[in-house]
């Protein structure tokens, strides 16, 4: 603003001062609004960064927990068994092998018995066939009449 050369009257001076005060107030308000907006944007940006860091930290913590859980499980698996566990494992394996052996043994006699019975049946059939052959031969002999004192022999079989 330009200052007039001669002093203004009080009324004009007050009006001029009010106008200048309004302009300064508007400028200050605009400046404050701009500063508030910048502060809000910074605050939002900081919140976004903090949330992102929290997410990253949560992922790191979860990965760390998983890693140590796997490590503990691996240590448990690689830990040598106690004497009681060894004894139990040996007993279980012996039971399993004994069951397999028993199963094999129980199958063998059954198969052997079946084979022997089949052999016996064949032998019986062969003997019956021999006896039948012998009986037929004997019967044939009986059918032949042997002459006594010059009798004629009759052959009844063709």
pLDDT digits (tens, 9 = 90+) for 82-128: 899 899 999 999 888 888 877 766 666 667 778 888 888 888 888 88
- What is the torsion angle, in degrees rounded to the nearest 10, for the CA atoms of residue 104, residue 109, residue 113 and residue 114? -10
pLDDT tens readout for residues 6-54: 666 788 888 899 999 999 999 999 999 999 999 999 999 999 999 999 9
Is 89 among the domain residues? no
Q: Are 118 and 64 found together in one domain? A: no
Say if residue 115 is in the same domain as residue 75.
Answer: no
Quick one: what percent of the chain has pLDDT higher than 70? 80
Does some domain include residue 66?
yes
How much is the pLDDT for 128? 84
Claim to verify: residue 67 and residue 15 sit in the same structural domain: yes
For residue 148, name the pLDDT band (cuts at 50, 70, 90).
low
Confidence of residue 134 (pLDDT cuts 50, 70, 90): confident
Among residues 61, 79, 97, the one where a domain terminates is 79
Range(s) of the domain holding residue 60? 7-79
Residue 4 has pLDDT above 70, yes or no: no
Q: Are residues 50 and 15 both part of a single domain?
A: yes
**Are 72 and 109 in the same domain?**
no
The number of domains in the chain is 2
Is 16 found in the same domain as 65?
yes
Is there a domain that residue 40 lies in? yes
Same domain, yes or no: 65 and 120 = no
- Judge whether 22 and 28 are in contact, CB under 8 Å: no
Residues 16 and 70 in one domain: yes
13 domain-assigned: yes
Domain identity same for 67 and 33: yes
In the predicted model, is pLDDT for residue 158 greater than 60? no
- How much is the pTM? 0.35
């Amino acid at each position: 603003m330009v200052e007039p050369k001669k002093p203004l009257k009080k009324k004009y001076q007050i009006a001029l001062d009010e106008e200048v005060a309004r302009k300064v107030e508007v400028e200050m308000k605009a400046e404050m609004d701009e500063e508030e907006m910048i502060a809000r944007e910074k605050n939002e940006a900081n919140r976004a960064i903090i949330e992102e860091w929290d997410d990253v930290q949560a992922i790191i913590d979860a990965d760390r927990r998983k890693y140590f859980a796997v490590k503990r499980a691996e240590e448990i698996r690689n830990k040598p068994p106690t004497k009681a566990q060894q004894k139990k494992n040996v007993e279980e394996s012996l039971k399993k092998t004994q069951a397999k052996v028993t199963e094999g043994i129980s199958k063998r006699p059954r198969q052997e018995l079946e084979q022997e019975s089949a052999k016996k049946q064949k032998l019986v059939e062969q003997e019956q066939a021999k006896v039948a052959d012998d009986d037929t031969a004997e019967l044939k002999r009986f059918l032949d009449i042997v002459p006594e004192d010059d009798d004629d022999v009759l052959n009844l079989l063709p």
